[in-house]
Structure 1
Amino acid sequence: MRVCRLSVANFRGVKAATILLPKHAVLIGDNNTGKTTLLEALDLVLGPDRLNRQPPIDEHDFFRGKYLGAGTEPADAGAEGAGAEANAAQPEAPGDGGADGADGVVAAVGEEAPRIEIEVAIADLTEEQKARFGDYTEFWDAATDTFYEEANPAGVDAAHITEALRVTFHGWYDPEEDDFEGRTYFTRSLAESDNPVPFSKKDKQVCGFLYLRSLRTGSRALSLERGSLLDIILRLKEVRPQMWEDTLATLAGYSVASDPELGISGVLESINTALKKYVPKEWGIEPHLKVSNLTREHLRKVITAFIATGEGSHAAPFYRQGTGTINMLVLAMLSQIAEDKQNVIFAMEEPETAIPPYAQKRIVHEIRKLASQTIFTSHSPYVLEEFALDETVVLGRDANGVLAKRVIALPDSVKPKRYRQEFRTRFCEGLLARRILVAEGATEAAAFPVVCRRLSELKPNTYSSLEALGVCTIDAGSQNSIPDMAKLYRELGRRVFAICDKQEAANKALIEAQVELLLMHDEKGFEDLVLKNTTQEALKRFAKLIDWPPHLTAKYPDLEASATEALRDYFGWTKANWGIADFLAQCSEAEIPAWLREACVAIKDTCAPGPAGGGGEAPVEPGAGADAAH
């Protein structure tokens, strides 16, 4: 069983999205791209307990907060009965008139009220699911990633065609009740019946969707509250602890603070004496303290697990442990649920939270073995490198709220082996960012971010660090690799810039075809750019600060007099060790070469233009960067 396709409309920051998912997937992209929105959408459709919340959705779950049709007002804002009149003037929405229908959905004339719609297609059904959902199953063609709809029944016998199920969630605002409603239906019933069939909580439990949010504290996980992870595990194992009566009887016989030396019993006796002066004994006598209100529900809330950590035997409530320990406990319990159910879809946000790298990898491998499908989000290279290219779902969302999946297409110069070997150092950061600066080599990749950061410290109103602009720097490895590396990220919908030495006309044209902004100076090397355009005072000051290697002190007996030549050799010797970056980090604004200052301003203006440029960054359609003016 797996979710093969997810379609979302008008939900949170997503106006529209249709995402195809592999058996195991990791969703990646910059923050606020829509990764969590997709998982929350799955939870609305498949989560057994999600719709128990009242209301199941709210204003902020609608795209841009719009949930009213034109001319529609909430019930308490307009005249009484306005909602009913609006309803009478409009066609019925799916579910109107049924017990589980979308009663109260209103629309203004010519424009329906916005509605959240989420459709999930589930393929590779188990025999149990086929038997339960038989009236509503369809056929999914894994070869084309579409539903099989040909008028040839024999075609479903092909190995790549499997039985599948479609389920749809509808969410809307009901002006008569002045509240939000949400229902989940079998998708086929929406089209085939005036009274669509609800996809019930029991149906969802048969599907087995588990969702672990990144911000989950686990404070209830090891308690006996209804719906806690421990309660779910007990129900799955059909364990019904018959402990309530004995526990309640024990607590009922225990009187708190009954020892007269404590003084509390004496105060209660005086209250009892005073009470008898005013009311008959039938009204109430002999107040005393008990442990609780003595109901099962109270016990469920207060019973929790204690855990001993470290070398001693002292135990504390599990939710008072470290964040990493809590996360691993919650994960262990979820994996227990997955193991017991044998057939689950497991969604998890950021498994790296408070977890060391080796444990991150263990989590991914163990969950993949236990679940029929896993869907992760992550910013960790240790997690991301565990997924193949076809399992890596790169997400991008445009200014209109349309979310799309992009495929990582490696250029000819980047072989799969190189991609895997250099993933942490060269590719990972670019996959997670919106803006990429492709640098010609290690020197530019290390030095230019330092320059921008230094200038932003010296004059923050004029300059900005690359980090503040959301720009990550990628080392292309050579000037000939810049076009291919830029193309890789451009085709993923990123805004791409480049910085390099003076290029021949042919290679310059190749680079310009792939980037939005090319920062190219006129020197043959970055070291020449700096040494020729800084001050002697800055060079001599830096020469006194560093620890010179013996071979250079022997070559230049008078380092101050030979500062330029000595530092040229030093920068070459430390080319892969931040030598020139360290020099620029201690320069004043005037000591930093003018070309670098202008480049910092240029990239700031491109990423975040000031009021003269429209007051903010203009939306750029994915892949459109290369068409911008250079």
Structure 2
Amino acid sequence: MLAGRTQMYICKIGISNFRGIKSASILINGNSVFVGDNNSGKSTIFEAIDLVMGPDRLARHPVIDEHDFYGGEYLKGDKTVQIYIEVVVIGLSEDQKIHFGNHIEWWDKKSNSIISGPPASATDSDDVEPALRLVFQGNYSPEEDDFEGQTFFAGTLREGSVPEPFRKKDKRKCGFLYLRTLRTGSRALSLERGSLLDIILQLKEIKPQMWESVIEQLEKVSIAGDPNLGITEVLTSVQDSLANIVAYESADKPQIKVSNLTRENLRKVLTVFMGSGAYKENGSEYMTPYFHQGTGTINTLVLSLLSMIANIKENVIFAMEEPEIALPPHIQKRVISSVIEKSKQALFTSHSPYVLEEFSPEQILVISRKDGVLSAEPAGMPPAVKVKKYRDEFRRRFCESLLARRVLITEGKTEYDVYSSASRKMQCLHPEKSYSFDLLGIALVNAETDTQVSALGQYYKRLGKTVYAVFDKQEERDSEQIALAVDCAYEANEHGIEDVVLKGIKPSVLLRFALDVVASGEWPPHLSNQTPYEGMKDDELYTTMKLYFKNKKGEGALAELVQFCEEDEMPLFIKDTIISISETVYPISLPNDINEE
């Protein structure tokens, strides 16, 4: 949060029976980014907030329809099902407190709940502050045979009270703006209602007095009056045919006009044109509709308009879907930074690690949904990772793992490189199969030590991930602990990745690789007295190459050996582990030769 500013923000969202969400209770602490699988409910959360706080959302008819109810069920027997959405806003300004007056309630930040009754002294606590609690209720009306919905001040829904709507003028006091991915750019500089340009004009209280003048000019434009075009002749024939059926004057003088010549029609067709960078022969620049610009340019344009809106409004809460689309990483970061700087609260959905990097782990909410029950779990700092290490080294890989549905925990950097390399190699050998961890949607996580494998396993399972772990031979107690912490545990029979690879590979393959290293001039000079040679004994070769890989630890040399192997030369444990993991994601029928030792 920025110091010195009143920070109005949504702190809680409750949802029942809305779209894919049967129930949800989500706590938010300021600026946040929602991450999760496609169709996990991220956009539905924003749509729910928009039903409660969006100033123009309830102007649609119908406000909701059949598909907005969980499972499409708006009736159960003779009883109607209710969509119920509750939003709590805190950090209210003095102006807001005065405006909302008797509708102010009290939020206890310690218990994360509204104080529902006496004693009054409870509101004096430093952990309690004024709050605005709003509720959208939507249902099917059998009497009207239609759907209806309205937002109310929650306190007026108590028994014995008269429900009071949360009206458009009230919503503007909270300044919620929801920017949907698919239409934000295409509507940015049109005059269509709800476009960013229209929002700016409304905020500036500018009401363009141009409609009558434009309509008058368009009425005089002749579109197809030239007889040589032949269109007039066809239209006259249509008129003559109609005259045989209806009164002549009711279908008189058919013409083609530019538009419907109404204000609403003009709002949809009028748009801003911009220079295209192409020039006509007369030297003038060819102008095109702004949405013909590159996607990156359009998104940058949207950012500029958002900045204008934020500068005009005293209070604004932005909810923005996938701001990273078509933007390079550095622009993604600028978008996030700018929106956060100019708003009271900024909420995003994203599939970009570059966007996630701009948030602390506590501000990243991992969304998961099971049987209609949605949960939003703050990621929090990974276990045993200190703040400086997270900031300097771990952050990008951590963000990538939060975006993945599945994670594979390895106990060290060498294991990380080996399994990543082996999965890509197997994918190349069998492109029709899904062996590459990237294609399987699996992010690799380096635990850096075997003692942290179980802790990281518990961490990622808490976030709803499917967790795999591959590790060296352990003591029985440690092995059991890891198995309990993850979904699938793969324990090697060796006490080190070097032995897993070297003992799992044929000596002939190892010698071929060693001679290739020597031939390329990459054999370490200080190991010259142990240089591999043709006819070297197997045990001597094993000892020499183990020393070589120990010397090259951290440089990816062991992964190069795995990449060097052909299919039947791959270390058996590594190959079997990758096949087993693949089958848990996509059960596949494997050719017999890949299972042969």
Moved more, 34-43 or 329-338: 329-338
Instruction: Supply the distance in 2 between the matched residues of 1:12 and 1:289 (Cα, whole angstroms).
Output: 44
Tell me the SS of whatever aligns to 2:181.
coil
1:376 alignment partner, one of 348, 371, 382: 348
Question: Using a 3 Å threshold, how does the CA distance of structure 1 residues 68 and 560 change in structure 2: closer, same or farther?
Answer: farther
1:487 Cα deviation after fit: 3.7
- CA distance in structure 1 between the partners assigned to 2:84 and 2:231 by the alignment: 61
Residue 170 of structure 2 aligns with which residue?
203
**CA contact under 8 A between 1:174 and 1:181: conserved in structure 2?**
yes
Q: 1:132-143 to 2 correspondence within 5 Å?
A: 132-143=99-110
Structure 1 residue 30, shift from structure 2 partner: 3.6
Secondary structure class of the residue paired with 1:292: coil
Contact 2:364 2:378 in 1 (8 A): no
Residue 358 of structure 1 aligns with which residue?
Answer: 330
Partner in structure 2 of residue 248 of structure 1: 215
Aligned residues of 2:513 and 2:561 also touching (Cα < 8 A): yes
Q: Does 1:600 align with 2:543?
A: no
| Structure-2 residue corresponding to 1:626 | none
TM-score (norm 2): 0.83
> Quick one: which of 453, 461, 470 aligns to 1:499?
470
Contact 1:25 1:375 in 2 (8 A): yes
Contact 1:13 1:63 in 2 (8 A): yes
Corresponding residue to 2:148 among 181, 194, 197: 181
* Contact kept? 1:2, 1:23, Cα under 8 Å: yes
SS at match of 1:422: helix
Q: In the alignment, what sits opposite 1:56?
A: 63
The Cα shift of 1:3 comes to 0.9
- Residue 168 in structure 1 maps to residue 135 in structure 2: yes
2:418 matched to 1:434? no
Mapped contact 1:119–1:166 kept (Cα < 8 A) = yes
Quote the offset at 1:394 in angstroms. 2.9
1:204 deviates by 1.9
Q: Give me the whole-angstrom Cα distance separating, in 2, the residues matched to 1:18 and 1:277.
A: 65
1:318 equivalent in alignment to 2:321: no
Identity %: 44
Other structure's SS at 1:44 match? helix
- 1:539 Cα deviation from its structure 2 partner: 4.4
Assess, with a 3 A threshold, how the Cα gap between structure 1 residues 238 and 548 changes in structure 2: closer, same or farther.
farther
One-letter amino acid of the counterpart of residue 74, structure 2: Y
Please report how far the alpha carbon of residue 234 of structure 1 lies from its aligned counterpart in structure 2 after TM superposition. 0.8
Contact in 2 for aligned 1:7/1:16 (Cα 8 Å) = yes
Question: CA offset at residue 318 of structure 1?
Answer: 1.0
Structure 1 residues 207-226: aligned runs within 5 Å: 207-226=174-193
1:10 aligns with 2:4: no
State the AA in 2 paired with 1:146: S
TM-score, normalised with respect to structure 1 = 0.79
Structure 1: runs of 5 or more not aligned: 73-85, 87-106, 108-112, 612-630
Tell me how large the CA RMSD over aligned residues is. 3.6
Residues in 2 aligned to 1:65 and 1:273: alpha-carbon distance in whole angstroms: 48
Is 2:324–2:350's contact at 8 Å kept on the other side of the alignment? yes
Is the CA contact (8 Å cut-off) linking 2:188 and 2:302 kept in structure 1?
yes
TM-aligned CA deviation for residue 530 of structure 1 = 2.3
What does 1:68-79 correspond to in 2, within 5 Å? 68-69=75-76, 72=77
Residues 466-475 or 313-322, more deviating: 466-475
Among 81, 85, 90, the alignment partner of 1:118 is: 85
How far apart are 1:209 and its partner, in Å? Answer: 0.7
Correspondence for 2:460 among 476, 479, 489:
489
Residue 552 of structure 1 aligns to a residue whose secondary structure is coil
Displacement of 1:547 after TM fit? Answer: 9.1
Question: What per-residue deviation string (whole Å, max 9, x for no partner) do you get for residues 199-229 of structure 1?
Answer: 2233222221111122335222211122222
Task: Please name the residue that 1:332 is paired with.
Answer: 304
Per the TM alignment, residue 462 of structure 1 is displaced from its structure 2 partner at its CA by: 8.7
Matches within 5 A, 1:486-565: 486-504=457-475, 507-508=478-479, 510-536=481-507, 538-539=509-510, 549-552=520-523, 555=528, 561=535
Deviations 1:559-600 (A, max 9, x none): 665595686566556654544444434644432222223323
Give distance in 1, aligned partners of 2:473 and 2:269: 70
- The offset of 1:22, in angstroms, is 1.1
Distance between the aligned counterparts of 2:467 and 2:288, measured in 1?
51
Q: Deviations over 1:403-437 (max 9, x none)?
A: 242452543x3211112222334321222233321
Question: Corresponding residue for 2:369?
Answer: 397
1:234 to 195, 201, 209: 201
* C-alpha distance after superposition, 1:114-144 (max 9, x if no partner): 3221111111223333233223221112343
